């Protein structure tokens, strides 16, 4: 017989080990929820899959909606919460229909990007998805700035600020190396802005993990590792004096996932200055921040000349990171919905 206090939760997104959905799966399980992921897309795609995704996106979205609707019909009202992570495939008509089918479920959207960046052929948002957001019972968003904009547009919705965090199961501090092999590490997908910053850091030994860097001219002072897992990420961070966090424009006023993951894996984080990040990790106490490239370069030089001086900042960041986990986020979600 089902325990009425044990919440049944369906997560809709990626079931890949490193995905945000999987981190929430582990978190909800720890608080005794009956939780499952409906795997609807892959984050890491082969070259062939990327090609198909690019030219047949419309039909892929249609198939994703069809598969999800079929599953919800088969499991009508089996779930207390149906949590969709972003959902590029969503339409207004589709989400209304899902809510009719599973009328006893609450529908939640955890949105890890900027929903106002509505480019159909991008992977951030689109017009159909944006129109569908209005029909969710709750929208959890990581940025205070975006939250304010959403409240102006979707005033009737319950829009809640929910920062990123880290997962202690995978973001683990690696055994420290006696000597740092690299001056700087950066883990993240390549784009033009990030490449231009790395390109100007000519005087340092740099290691980079992440996709897309092969699209740019390879730099002699940089070691490129391609896509890496969290275990290798932690090893790279431990081998580096400085762990760089290059925010994208959409996150300039807020933070990103690396904001919490770098300190949790024992790195000395040097990140683009923002108010939200300073609320989590205080500048010059728990992390380092920069305003522009000149400031960034000066900070790196300062750290390399005084490595021991910055050990305390790194250790402060590591200890503070323990306050920011997806387990606490999962508890917050349930408390807000059911209290």
For the stretch 78-87, pLDDT in tens is 999 999 999 9
| Cα–Cα distance, 219 to 202 (Å, whole number) | 9
> What average pLDDT score do residues 214-221 get?
96
Chain centroid to Cα 221, Å, comes to: 28
Q: Would the pLDDT of 177 be above 70?
A: no
Dump pLDDT digits (tens) for 99-147.
999 999 999 999 999 999 998 888 899 999 999 999 999 999 999 999 9
Percentage of residues of the chain with pLDDT beyond 70: 96
| Cα–Cα distance, 142 to 114 (Å, whole number) | 9
Report the predicted TM-score, pTM, of the whole model to 2 decimal places: 0.93
Number of neighbours of residue 53 by Cβ within 10 angstroms: 15
Helices assigned H by DSSP within 180-274 = 192-200, 230-238, 258-264
- pLDDT at position 11 is 98
**Is residue 1 very low, low, confident or very high in pLDDT (cuts 50, 70, 90)?**
very low
Q: In sequence order, what DSSP letters do the residues of 21-32 get, joined into one string?
A: HHHHHHHHHHTT
Q: Would the pLDDT of 10 be above 50?
A: yes
Number of neighbours of residue 177 by Cβ within 10 angstroms: 11
Percentage of residues of the chain with pLDDT beyond 90: 83
- pLDDT at position 5 is 76
| Cα–Cα distance, 152 to 145 (Å, whole number) | 11
| Cα–Cα distance, 79 to 76 (Å, whole number) | 8
Contact 213, 227 (CB under 8 A): no
Tokens 């380092």 appear where?
288
Q: Which tokens go with 240?
A: 């580096």
Q: Which tokens go with 21?
A: 């959905």
């Amino acid at each position: 017989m089902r325990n009425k206090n044990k919440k049944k939760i369906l997560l809709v997104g990626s079931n890949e080990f490193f995905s945000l959905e999987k981190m929430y799966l582990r978190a909800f399980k720890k608080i005794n929820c009956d939780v499952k992921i409906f795997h609807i897309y892959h984050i890491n795609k082969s070259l062939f899959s990327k090609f198909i995704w690019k030219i047949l996106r419309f039909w892929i979205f249609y198939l994703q909606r069809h598969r999800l609707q079929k599953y919800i019909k088969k499991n009508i009202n089996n779930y207390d919460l149906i949590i969709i992570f972003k959902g590029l495939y969503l339409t207004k008509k589709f989400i209304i229909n899902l809510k009719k089918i599973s009328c006893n479920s609450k529908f939640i959207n955890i949105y890890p990007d900027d929903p106002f960046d509505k480019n159909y052929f991008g992977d951030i948002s689109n017009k159909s998805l944006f129109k569908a957001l209005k029909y969710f019972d709750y929208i959890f968003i990581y940025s205070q700035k975006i939250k304010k904009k959403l409240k102006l547009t979707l005033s009737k919705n319950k829009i809640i600020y929910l920062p990123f965090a880290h997962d202690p199961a995978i973001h683990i501090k690696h055994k420290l190396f006696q000597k740092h092999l690299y001056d700087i590490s950066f883990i993240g997908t390549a784009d033009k802005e990030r490449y231009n910053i790395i390109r100007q850091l000519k005087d340092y030994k740099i290691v980079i993990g992440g996709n897309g860097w092969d699209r740019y001219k390879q730099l002699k002072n940089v070691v490129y590792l391609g896509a890496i897992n969290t275990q290798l990420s932690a090893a790279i961070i431990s081998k580096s004096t400085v762990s760089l966090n290059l925010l994208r424009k959409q996150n300039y006023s807020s933070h990103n996932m690396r904001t919490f993951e770098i300190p949790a894996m024992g790195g000395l984080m040097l990140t683009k200055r923002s108010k939200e990040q300073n609320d989590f990790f205080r500048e010059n106490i728990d992390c380092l921040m920069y305003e522009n490239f000149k400031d960034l370069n000066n900070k790196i030089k300062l750290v390399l000349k005084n490595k021991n001086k910055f050990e305390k900042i790194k250790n402060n960041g590591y200890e503070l990171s323990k306050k920011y986990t997806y387990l606490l986020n999962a508890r917050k979600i349930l408390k807000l919905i059911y209290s």
